[in-house]
Structure 1
Amino acid sequence: MSSTVVATKRRSEGKVHWSYLLMSNAPYRALSGFLNRNLKLASILMVVLPVAWLVLWNIFPLGQMLNISLLQQYPVPAGQSEVRTFEHYLLLFTDYTVYLPFLRTMGFAVVVSFVALVLMTPLAYFIAKKVPKNLQVRLLLLAMVPSWVGELIRVFSYVLIFASNGAINLVLMWANFIERPIPFLYTWFSLGAGMLYVVALFMLVPLYAAIEKIPTNVLEAASDLGANGITRFFKVTLPLMRDGIATGVTLVFLITTGVYTVPMILAGTDSNLFAQVIASYFHESSLTWPRGAALAIILFVSALIISGVLHSLLRAKKKY
C-alpha cells in the first residue's frame, strides 16, 4: 500500500498522525525515493553526517586546545614566530597548586562514583523489579524532572538547603536539636551532596536497564534453592548487572572530573577541584591560556584512562 493511500485512509478515519502527513508530502517522497534508488549514497550519508558532526564539535575544538597548549605564548606576538614547548604540561609535576587539585579531583570522582552506585542501586532495583511494568517509565520520568531545570539553578537550590539560615538548619533549630547553625555550606559535605544530586540520574538509568533485563525466573529459582534476599543480590543480581555498574560508574566519573558549576558554588577554599584551576588560567589573561589548555588536555586524557580502567575492572567478563 503506497504512502499516499495510507495517508488518505487515515484522514477518512479521522486519525491523522504527523508521520502519515510526512509520508504524503511530495518533497519527502521524492527524497526517500531517491535514496531508495541509491542505497550506496544513503549509506555514505548515514556515516558522513555523524562523523562530520563529531569532527566539527568535538575533535576540532580538542585539536585547537592541543595546539594552544604547545605554544609558549598565545596569541603569538606580531612579528614573532611560534615557539612550541611542553613546559606547560610539567606544571602537573612541579606546581603543588596544580597537582594537589588534580589528585583531589580524581579521588573525589572515584568516591562520588561509588557512593552514587550504592545509593542508586536500591532505587534502580525497586523500579525494575518491584514496580509494575506500566509504572516503571513514569517513575523514571519523575526522577528525570529535576534535570529539566538548568544545572545552575539546581546547584543554587543546595545553597538554600545548606546555608546557615537554610532549610536543614532551620528545621534542626526549630526541633531544638542545635542552638546555633551548623556550617554545612562550602565544605566537602555540601560539595559531595551537590555533585551526587547532579550525577545521580546518570547512575540510575544504566543500573535500571541492567536490572530490568535480569529474568525474574532466575531470581525465583535462586529463592527456591534456599537463597535469602541478601544472598540472591550478591550471588545472582550483582554479577548480572555488572555491565550497568560499569557504564554508570564510567559516566559519573567522567562528569565529576570535568564539572565546573558545582565546585564553584558549593566548594570551600580547601576543596577546590581541578576544573577551577583550569578556569583560573583562562580567566586570568590570554597570556596564560597555554597553561590552561595544557591542563585541560591532561584532565581529558587522565579521565579517559582512569574511566577506561574502571570500566574494564567492573564490566562482566565475556566467556567464549
Structure 2
Amino acid sequence: MTGHSSTPAQLTGHRAFSRTFSQGRLTLGFVAPLEGYPHGPAPTLANHAAMVRLVDDVGISALWLRDVPFYDPQSGDVAQILDHMVYAGWLAAVTRNIAIGTARIVAPLRDPLIVAKQTASADQLFGGRFLLGLASGDRSAEYPAFGIGFHTRAERYREALDIIRTVTEQPFPLHESRRYGRLDGSLDLVPKPAASRLPTIAIGRAGQELPWLGANMDAWIWHGSDARRMTDIIPQWRDVTATHGFKPYGYGTWFDLDRDPDAPIQHGRVLRGGRHALIEFWQSQQLAGISHIVLNLKPTLRPAEDILDEIGSHVIPHFPSHRPEEVEVVQ
C-alpha cells in the first residue's frame, strides 16, 4: 500500500474537485465526444467546439476524456479519437468553468513521470479545472504493443500512482520503484499542481481491492451494465472509507434521453428514459450516496444538442454543479 492516504478535505480549494464532488449532492458529467455514434466505432467530431461550449454554458459539472490509443475491432469504440491530453488542452481553451477530467488514463501503459508532468501542467493551465482519473485498462490487446504484460497491470497501477503523487507533491523527492525509475533527491518535477495536489480518481476497480481504493484514491467512479445496481456497493465503500473522511463515489453509463419527457426508464446496458423518470431516479441515487454520474451519449440517435439543451433546462436545476470560488484561467 502506498503512503498517500490523505483525505479529499485537502482538495476543498481545488476548483474542479469542489465543482464536481460534494457530500450529499449529486452532479452530472458527460464523456466526450458529445454526440451519438451507435452504429460504428468512431464519432464524427462535427461541431465539437460548439458542443463543449454548450455543456459549459448549461452548467454540466465535468467533461471526461478517455485514453484509447488504438482501434481494436474487438472493443468497437475509439472514444474521442484524439489523444486525451492534447484534446484536454484544446478543451480548456474553449471553455471557462467546466471541469475537465480523464476517464481514464491507462496508468500501466504510460510513464508516470510524463503523466505527472502533463497533468500538473494541465492543472496550472486550466486554472485548477483538471481531474486526474486513472485506470488499469481492460483492453488486453493494447498491452503487447507497449511491450507490457497484461498480468502486471494492477501492480503497475499502484506504482504509477505512488510516483505521480510523490513527484507532484514533494520537492526533490527520494523514490524508488520496481518497474519504473529511481529518484535520488537531485531532481524536482515542475510545475506542481495549481492546488496543494492533484485530485486522483479511480476509474473502475483498476485491479485493486476496495480497501486499497478507499485508502489511496480521492474518489471512485465505477461502471456497470445496469445503473440500478450502482448503489449496491455504497455500504462497502462507506466501510472502507470510514476512517479517511468523505470520499466521493459515482458511476459511468451509456445514456439516451427519450424525446417523451414522461417515458419510463429502460434499464440495462443503456440508461434510457424521459427526464421526469430520470430526475426521480437520480434523486433516489443522490439520497443513497452517489456523488457524480458520467453519461456517455454513444448509443443515442437523437441529436446531442437537443439532449443537452433539455438536460440544461430541466435536469441540471435539480443537480447543479457546486460553486467553488472562481479563479482566473491562465491565458
Interval of TM-score (by shorter of Structure 1 and Structure 2): under 0.3
**Greater helix fraction, Structure 1 or Structure 2:** 1
TM-score (norm 1): 0.21
Structure showing greater Rg: 1
Task: Report 1 or 2 for greater relative contact order, CA contacts < 8 Å, sequence distance ≥ 6.
Answer: 2
